[in-house]
Structures are given as C-alpha cells and as structure tokens.
C-alpha cells in the first residue's frame, strides 16, 4: 500500500508526504483535525487538510517565534499566546526563568487534547506551573485586556479559516492595547512566494506597521510551509529587533536550540529584495 498526504500550497502545487499510518481523524466544532505517522516528517497534525506542524520541523517555527522577541525584550514577565494549543511555543517560553505567567488561549479544546495524546514533546509545555490554558476565542479574550502583557505571540495559523479575526486591523489594535508600554507582539506573517499569498502578506504588514511604531519582518526556512519559506512579524512599541538585541545576555542563558542562534537572529531580518520591496510599499 502507498498512502500519500497532499498539502495543497496553491491549487497547482502540493507537497506530498508518504504516510505510514493515520493515527487520528475527527471533525470538531471548528475544524477537521488529522494526525499521521510518516517516515520523513515523523508525526504530523493537519487542520482542514493543511499541515500545522510536524515532529521533524516544528523546532524551526517554535524557536523562531519565541527566541527572537525574548532576546530583544529585557524583562518579560507575562506572555500571551494566542492559539498555540499544541504547547510548542509555551515549551520554548518555559526556558526563561524571568517569565512569571504564560496565558495560552486556544479556541478548539479538541486540538489541545489531540496534541496531549499524540505530541507529548510539544504538549509538555502546557504542564509548566506558570502556564494557564484558556479555552476561549482569542479575539474576544484579547478585548478584555489592557496594559497587561510584555509579549504577545499570535500562533494562529489560518488567516482565512476560523482564526480569520486574528488577522484584522482590530486584532492588531487590541494587541497594542493589551501590551504594556514597552510590549512586543510577534505573529505569523505567511509565505510570500506564491502570488495568491502575496496580498495576505501585504495586508498584514500594512496593518501592523500602521498600528505599531516599530514593525519588522523576519524569515525562516520551514519545509512543510508553502514553498518552504515562512515570515514572522515583529511589531513593537519600544524595542527594535536588531538595535535592542542583546546577544550576550541571550547566550549566557545557555538555551539549547537547533535553528535559532545569535547570528541567525540578525540574518533572519535580512530579506530577499522582492520581499523587502513588497513590504516597503505597504509602509507608505
């Protein structure tokens, strides 16, 4: 038997992964969730047919969305993670002793349960005593918060599905309000390569750069993402991702990483010309 999972990156391009076994599959109130075992990417989970993460490449995403802001902000005490029900982001955050509270807000409780069952190396992040998991809508949760967080990580994946509200102008405004006066927000910025993703990418940068005084974009290579290339947004009230980056302090922490490094931190902000030009157009 040959069983292939197809992740459609566009209508005309797909990444196919050979499957050894399906481990889980169900329709929740919010989405279709499936878990598969594969040789090349280990276990992976998909929502509505799109891969959310795999055992083999989640380290890239989770390290890059956490260590970049953490190596810039000098004193993070309270963090909000919107989405992130798998626990990978929380896991990376728990490496930092100075963090006192981590609020994880996940809409779909089935997603949390499935990750607890099938991805213990991610879900362990939710077991840290500093973590509180809220089973709630991220946007609604956010509306009640003012001047509360040092760091907000928007870990929501799908700008067109049930998480669509997380990519509106209101969302960026609410994040700004929920952050302390020197807060940082990082978010998934999508993949800029295929034509059909370009407008989403432009719109996100437009909204963020009009809501925050500092708004930069950084990159990573994530094989299961469309075209293998993913962008992150760094929106900040005070700290600049490169000028306020404290490499020495970060190195002294001795956190073990596989993707992130003090060199890569800087290189991640040096973008291809076509991406730079696209983003600059939206800053006007």
Strand, helix or coil at 29? coil
Query: Could you tell me if 161 and 201 are in contact, meaning their C-beta atoms sit under 8 angstroms apart?
Result: no
Out of 57, 103, 155, 197, the active site residue is: 155
Query: Could you tell me if 172 and 211 are in contact, meaning their C-beta atoms sit under 8 angstroms apart?
Result: yes
13 touches its own copies (CB under 8 A): yes
- For 125-213, strand residue ranges (E) read 131-134, 149-154, 179-190
Phi and psi at 72, nearest 5°, equal -110, -50
Active site residue 155: yes
**Is residue 137 annotated as involved in ligand binding?**
yes
Pick the binder of its own copies from 95, 221, 237, 238 (CB under 8 A): 221
Pick the binder of its own copies from 116, 227, 238, 244 (CB under 8 A): 227
Q: Which is nearer to its own copies, 180 or 205 (CB)?
A: 205
228 touches its own copies (CB under 8 A): yes
Residue-level length of the chain: 284
39 touches its own copies (CB under 8 A): yes
User: What pairs with residue 24 in β-bridges?
Assistant: 35
Sole window of 10-18, 42-50, 132-140, 235-243 interacting with its own copies (rule: CB under 8 A): 10-18
**Closest approach of its own copies to the CB of residue 71, in Å:** 13
Sole window of 13-21, 102-110, 156-164, 207-215 interacting with its own copies (rule: CB under 8 A): 13-21
71 touches its own copies (CB under 8 A): no
Query: Could you tell me if 34 and 22 are in contact, meaning their C-beta atoms sit under 8 angstroms apart?
Result: yes
**Closest approach of its own copies to the CB of residue 139, in Å:** 32
**Closest approach of its own copies to the CB of residue 270, in Å:** 3
Write out the binding residues for its own copies, residues 189-208 only, by CB under 8 A: 193-194
Q: Which is nearer to its own copies, 263 or 284 (CB)?
A: 263
Q: Which is nearer to its own copies, 206 or 265 (CB)?
A: 265
**Closest approach of its own copies to the CB of residue 64, in Å:** 10
Find how far residue 69's CA is from the centre of its chain.
12
Sign of CA dihedral 155, 132, 109, 118: positive
Q: Which contacts of 109-113 are long-range, i.e. CB under 8 A and separated by 24 or more positions?
A: 109/85, 109/135, 110/26, 110/28, 110/29, 110/30, 110/33, 111/28, 111/30, 111/31, 111/33, 111/47, 111/85, 111/86, 112/85, 112/86
41 touches its own copies (CB under 8 A): yes
Which token pair is 284? 């006007």
**DSSP string covering 195-262:** HHHHHHHHHHHHHHHHHSSEEEEEEEE-TTSGGGEEEEEEEESS--TTTT--HHHHHHTT---SS--H
Query: Could you tell me if 52 and 116 are in contact, meaning their C-beta atoms sit under 8 angstroms apart?
Result: no
**Is residue 161 annotated as involved in ligand binding?**
no
Sole window of 38-46, 73-81, 101-109, 112-120 interacting with its own copies (rule: CB under 8 A): 38-46
By rule CB under 8 A, what string of x and - marks binding of each residue 245-274 to its own copies? ------------xxxxx-xx-xxxxxxxxx
**Is residue 63 annotated as involved in ligand binding?**
no
Catalytic residue numbers read 155
Residues that bind its own copies (CB under 8 A): 6, 10-18, 38-41, 57, 60, 193-194, 219, 221, 223, 227-229, 257-261, 263-264, 266-274, 276
């Amino acid at each position: 038997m040959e069983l292939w999972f197809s992740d459609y990156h566009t209508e005309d391009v797909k990444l196919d992964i050979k499957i050894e076994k399906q481990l889980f599959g169900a329709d929740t109130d919010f989405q279709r969730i499936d878990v598969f075992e594969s040789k090349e990417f280990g276990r992976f989970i998909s929502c509505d047919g799109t891969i959310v993460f795999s055992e083999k490449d989640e380290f890239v995403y989770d390290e890059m969305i956490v260590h970049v802001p953490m190596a810039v902000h000098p004193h993070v005490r309270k963090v909000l993670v919107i989405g992130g029900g798998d626990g990978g982001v929380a896991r990376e955050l728990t490496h930092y002793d100075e963090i006192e509270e981590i609020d994880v807000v996940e809409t779909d409780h089935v997603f949390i349960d499935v990750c607890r069952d099938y991805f213990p190396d991610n879900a362990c992040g939710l077991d840290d005593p500093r973590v509180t998991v809220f089973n709630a809508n991220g946007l609604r949760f956010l509306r009640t918060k003012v001047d509360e967080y040092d760091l907000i990580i928007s870990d929501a994946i799908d700008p067109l599905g049930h998480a669509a509200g997380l990519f509106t102008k209101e969302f960026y405004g609410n994040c700004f309000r929920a952050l302390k006066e020197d807060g940082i927000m990082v978010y998934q910025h999508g993949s800029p390569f295929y034509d059909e993703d370009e407008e989403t990418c432009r719109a996100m940068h437009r909204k963020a750069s009009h809501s925050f005084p500092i708004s930069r974009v950084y990159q990573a290579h994530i094989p299961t993402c469309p075209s293998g290339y993913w962008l992150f947004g760094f929106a900040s009230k005070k700290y600049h991702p490169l000028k306020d980056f404290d490499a020495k302090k970060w190195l002294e922490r001795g956190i073990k990483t596989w993707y992130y490094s003090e060199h890569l931190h800087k290189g991640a902000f040096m973008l291809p010309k076509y991406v730079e030009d696209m983003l600059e157009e939206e800053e006007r």
